[in-house]
């Protein structure tokens, strides 16, 4: 990679890693559904007024917006509110690589290579360690994470994986797929569903939090919309266009590392022994998937693992 592309890759890792701290900051004033609406309003406007609609079937735009926008971030924001730290969320969300592979196997009949099989096994052991944390909770982290928050985080990862399958199908169906146009226009899809969820599920006293939210919460929402969604994704897509996937994808291993450090240093979050074990195993499983193919013949590299790693921003 050139120095410029290497700097871009590292910048993306930092943006997506600190993305989870911004989520926690925004949730101090916004409800989860309000933060989702704010994120996508800021991501869509004013770019929606100047970026042309993507030349593709609109079903892909709508499906991706629902799976990735409402599904992934709806579950993730609720998880962060009911019991999940930014540190652990940054790790658990990376399990989307394995959900993508499983969905690819079931829906697209894609084969699972040896590195991915080993990665799935190691990741399963990591999730078991996270589960052990709830059987033997530590007083230092009591209340910081809950079983519900853990399950909702995995649900968010599975919806991210579903959106990866949608974008794969959209790319097959669209000869000239434009990632930036696609990302801007799908950002308009989750706005109305999030507003409806706010109206029906948020307490009446919180429905107008928008009017008195602090500047820090609005800055966090802007960071999520403009920087983590539009800018970082456009930079990531440009790297994938200029370099092979197996050269770009390993940079995603840095996202949970930055997320962990940011959560601990900025938010003062505590990680238990079982959680550290789970983190180590999940990161090792990602490394196995992203780097394991280098030790096999090129024809045996697992496509689902590569595609899952190149999904959209967390």
277, part of any domain: yes
Q: Which residue segment(s) compose the domain that 170 sits in?
A: 3-203+213-309
- pLDDT tens digit at each of 314 positions of the chain: 788 899 999 999 999 999 999 999 999 999 999 999 999 999 998 889 999 999 899 999 999 999 999 999 999 999 999 999 999 999 999 888 888 888 888 888 778 788 888 888 998 899 988 888 777 765 555 557 889 999 999 999 999 989 888 988 888 888 888 888 888 999 999 999 999 999 999 998 888 888 888 999 999 999 999 999 888 888 887 787 777 766 777 788 888 999 999 999 999 988 888 889 999 999 898 888 877 766 555 544 444 444 444 455 56
15, part of any domain: yes
How much is the pLDDT for 254?
A: 87
Q: HEC states along the chain?
A: CCHHHHHHHHHHHHHHHHHHHHHHHHCCCCCHHHHHHHHHHHHHCCHHHCCCCCCCCHHHHHHHHHHHHHHHHHHHHHHHHHHCCHHHHHHHHHHHHHHHHHHHHHHCCCCCCHHHHHHHHHHHHHHHHHHHHHHCCCHHHCCCCCHHHHHHHHHHHHHHHHHHHHHHHHHHHCCCCCHHHHHHHHCCCCHHHHHHHHHHHCCHHHCCHHHHCCHHHHHHHHHHHHHHHHHHHHHHHHHHHHCCHHHHHHHHHHHHHHHHHHHHHHCCCCCCHHHHHHHHHHHHHHHHHHHHHHHCCHHHCCHHHHHHHCCCCC
208, part of any domain: no
How much is the pLDDT for 310?
A: 47
314, part of any domain: no
64, part of any domain: yes
Number of domains making up the chain: 1
122, part of any domain: yes
């Amino acid at each position: 990679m050139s120095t410029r592309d290497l700097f871009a890759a590292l910048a993306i890792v930092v943006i997506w890693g600190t993305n989870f701290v911004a989520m926690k900051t925004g949730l101090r004033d916004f409800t989860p559904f309000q933060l989702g609406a704010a994120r996508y309003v800021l991501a869509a406007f004013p770019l929606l007024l100047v970026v042309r609609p993507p030349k593709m079937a609109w079903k892909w735009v709508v499906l991706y917006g629902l799976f990735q926008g409402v599904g992934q971030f709806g579950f993730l924001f609720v998880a962060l509110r009911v019991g999940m730290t930014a540190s652990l969320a940054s790790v658990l969300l990376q399990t989307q690589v394995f959900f993508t592979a499983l969905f690819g196997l079931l829906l697209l009949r894609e084969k699972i290579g040896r590195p991915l099989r080993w990665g799935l096994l190691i990741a399963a052991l990591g999730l078991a360690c996270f589960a052990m944390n709830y059987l033997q909770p530590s007083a230092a982290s009591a209340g910081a994470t809950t079983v519900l928050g853990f399950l909702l985080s995995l649900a968010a990862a599975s919806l991210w994986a579903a959106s990866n399958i949608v974008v794969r199908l959209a790319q097959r169906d669209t000869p000239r797929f434009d990632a930036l146009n696609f990302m801007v226009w799908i950002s308009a899809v989750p706005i109305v569903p999030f507003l409806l969820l706010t109206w029906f599920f948020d307490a009446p006293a919180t429905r107008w939090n928008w009017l008195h939210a602090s500047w820090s919460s609005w800055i966090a929402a802007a960071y999520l919309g403009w920087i983590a969604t539009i800018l970082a994704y456009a930079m990531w897509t440009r790297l994938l266009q200029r370099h092979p996937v197996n050269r770009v994808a390993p940079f995603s291993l840095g996202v949970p590392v930055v997320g962990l450090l940011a959560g601990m240093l900025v938010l003062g979050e505590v990680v238990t022994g079982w959680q550290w074990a789970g983190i180590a195993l999940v990161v090792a499983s990602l490394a196995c998937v992203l780097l394991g193919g280098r030790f096999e013949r090129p024809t045996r590299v697992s496509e689902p693992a590569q595609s899952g790693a190149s999904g959209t921003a967390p």
